[in-house]
Amino acid sequence: MRLRNIPRAESVLKACREVMKEPALYRGCWDKVFGNENPVFIEIGMGKGQFLLTMAEQNPDVNFIGIERYSSVLLRAVEKYMERETQAPANIRFICMDAADIADVFAKGEVSGIYLNFSDPWPKARHARRRLTSKEYLSRYDKILACDGVVEFKTDNRGLFEFSLEEIRESDVWEIKERTFDLHGDEAMNRGNVMTEYEEKFSAAGNPICKLRAVRKA
């Protein structure tokens, strides 16, 4: 899908101090960026930012970093953040980058958890390695997650979800801790669930939401 260029995006992102302009400079020292040693959770493909902003507001003792590849998309999240003015949570940062480079930005064990919400399904088989739950990306996550780190994935795309389950099952490193094909109908897994904009839209249309949690094998 071709994204519409928004001329003001670059200037707005540049002006926002919470947008990290050269994120690789902070590899291994994100605790200094936040000024504390609280756990760091990242969302890859944060879209308009509703999920991460809500998580940051509800969990002040956790640091959150939203990663988005396109400036025109990240702009929406940053503007939503800036609208909060004095009420904006201090425990959030933003990065505009390709997630394939996350090992250049985070050191081994520096990240406690990764959220993947309604990621691009890349439906063509030849693009499978670009899916954020492919074995290629699972290998990247292994390089930055803490020993007890977790990967959480939500989607309404049944095919992508089944692909993700299989990639994890075939992994020597990862295992599925929890999974459901109907998140909102699963009382245990839905407890405390924070919805994204897409999740609200898809669930309102009657689409079941799939979710999994993956951890390292013991």
What is the amino acid identity at position 87?
Q
- Using DSSP's 3-state secondary structure scheme, residue 168 falls into helix
- Count other C-beta atoms under 10 Å from residue 117's C-beta: 24
Structural tokens at position 91: 């425990």
Q: 120, 142, 148, 186: which is the annotated catalytic residue?
A: 120
Give 43's pLDDT tier (boundaries 50, 70, 90). very high
Region 36-52: mean pLDDT is 96
Cβ(86)–Cβ(56) under 8 Å? no
Distance CA 176, CA 149 (A): 13
Task: Give backbone dihedrals phi and psi of 187, rounded to 5 degrees, phi first.
Answer: -55, -45
Degrees (nearest 5) of the Cα angle 32, 35, 41? 80
Binding residue positions for S-adenosyl-L-methionine: 43, 68, 98, 120
Q: Are 196 and 118 in contact (CB under 8 A)?
A: yes
Q: What is the mean pLDDT of residues 193-215?
A: 96
Count of all residues that appear for the chain in the document: 218
Distance CA 9, CA 102 (A): 22
Predicted pLDDT at 50: 94
**Partners of 44 in the β-ladder:** 67, 116
Q: Is the pLDDT of residue 130 over 90?
A: yes
Please give the average per-residue pLDDT across 166-177, as a whole number: 96
**What's residue 6's pLDDT?**
82
Query: Is 120 an active-site residue?
Result: yes
Percentage above 70 pLDDT, the chain: 97
Q: Binding site residues for substrate, as ranges?
A: 124, 156, 196-199
pLDDT at 60: 96
* Cα angle, residue 92 at apex, residues 19 and 4 outer, rounded to 5°: 45
Q: Output the known binding site.
A: 43, 68, 98, 120, 124, 156, 196-199
At 3 the pLDDT is 55
Query: Please, are residues 64 and 88 in contact by the beta-carbon 8 Å criterion?
Result: no
Q: What is the pLDDT of residue 218?
A: 76
Residue 29 carries which side chain, given as an amino acid letter?
A: C
Average pLDDT, whole number, for the chain? 94
- Model confidence at 1: pLDDT above 60: no
Domain 34-216 part of CATH 3.40.50.1980: no
User: If you average pLDDT over residues 157-174, what whole number do you get?
Assistant: 96
Q: Where are the domains of the chain?
A: 34-216
